[in-house]
Amino acid sequence: MISFFSAIIVLIVGYLIYGKFVERVFGIDDSLKTPAIEMQDGVDYVPMNWKKIFLIQFLNIAGLGPIFGAIQGALFGPAAFLWIVFGTIFAGGVHDFLSGYLSLKNKGVSASELVGIYLGEGARKVMVVFSVVLLVLVGVVFVTGPAGLLNTLTSINTQVWVVVIFAYYILATVLPVDKVIGKIYPIFGAALILMAIGIAGGLIFKGYHIPELTLQNYYPDGAKSIFPYLFITIACGAISGFHATQSPLMARCVEHEREIRPVFYGSMVAEGIIALIWAAAAMAFYHGEPQLQAVFGATPAVGVNQMSVTLLGHVGAALAVLGVVACPITSGDTAFRSARLTIADSFNIKQEKLSSRFMIAIPLFAVGIALTFIDFQIIWRYFSWANQTFQIIWRYFSWANQTLAMIMLWTGSMFLLKNNKNYMITVAPAIFMTAVTFSYIMQADEGFKLPGTVGNIIGVVAAVLFAVAFFIKANKVKKAGHNKVA
């Protein structure tokens, strides 16, 4: 249990010290008006108290991510603690800070527009398509899954729940951000935090043994190596590119630049703590990785329910429902809202008028609704929440998350380079995530299925090539700067 408490302390200290260092590197200026003040429109640009924004951002980026991902990552053993802690401090926190910071500094634009500003028009176009497709798929997954669970709990037809959830999605997507999201999200965000605190308290006071730190790979039969699989399996809770699609939502609501660190870096640290708790709970509750794998023969939702009910009783049962139903729904609605804003930014469509919002939202929801009516076997194959299929799909989306994160880290690196700031705080994690994402897709079952050694070599080579290309660019920028001075 010493490792567990030490990890939490390191996360908090990391926020206080390294988070402050990152803030100084990027630089803040409270004398400047933020987009929330300068561009206030009562729809997407709405000033809100930073504490409320923190809870909204936390729920936006969290949802089920730091719960399911951490539980899956627990199969690797206590080594997962190291990735959660250091991934959060040096990669995820930096990524989320720069996503919010750059958006705020560029009138609250979406992640794809930021990529275009700093990496070029070609990269922007790719990012727009990639982001919108991913966001719509996330939204659809988080309709069908909760609808099926609600059908089990209430016996009301799944399609009825699909209609209800989509109706809510539409409202959350087109109404002003403070009318639905601003009122509901802080409550659910606080509940998610209380749920994790309760789980941690249950483990401690009921005498569960949380294993101590070791670098040994405990994955059953050694079927998956720590590198790169652990770094893909635990995405939310360490670093996730999905956060970059969500940060602009709140960057349009921040009133002062000094609030960037607590809102964006702070919410990532909070998510890291949540992931740490659930990873520890999974290891302690099921007394070992083989047993953990056996219990999750269905889905991590089973484990969430069992742990919540056993550790917290009836309150835990209610919180489990929150975790496996409400959290994914709150991820789905902001996914569609982010997709609307991404398209609006890309085509410069003003969103003050309700008709303009529906002009984008209706086609998005038409596609989303159509996807829910695809043959059940296809839905099961691609978006199933069960058995090995769930684990593969979870890792696939995690890979997409990490790929987005890698792109955003390189985007932040170009910003720091062009502004003569310490770009190594983003280049270092960018190089690492480049190696992770390329290595993974080369060897994974859902990728090219190459031998692990070959996949890792390709990943390292790709990371070196990206790094060399960046440093060549850096050298050119520095020479151009010296020439201007001369």
10-26 per-position pLDDT tens digit: 999 999 999 999 999 99
**Does the N-terminal peptide bond of residue 429 adopt cis geometry, omega within 30 degrees of 0?**
no
Q: What is the pLDDT of residues 167-190, one digit of tens each?
A: 999 999 999 999 999 999 999 999
- Cα–Cα dist 219/225, whole Å: 8
pLDDT tens digit string along 207-223? 999 999 999 998 887 88
Buried b (16+ CB within 10 A) or exposed e, 149-183: bbbeeeeeebeebbebbbebbbebbbbbbbebbbe
Cα separation, 165 vs 160, in Å, equals 9
CB-CB contact of 36 with 46 (8 Å): yes
User: What domains, with CATH codes, occur in the chain?
Assistant: 2-396 (1.20.1740.10)
The mean per-residue pLDDT over the stretch 113-125 comes to 95
pLDDT of res. 374 = 61
pLDDT more than 70, % of the chain: 91
Confidence of residue 431 (pLDDT cuts 50, 70, 90): very high
- 114: nearest Cα among 219, 21, 245: 245
Task: Return the pLDDT at 296.
Answer: 54
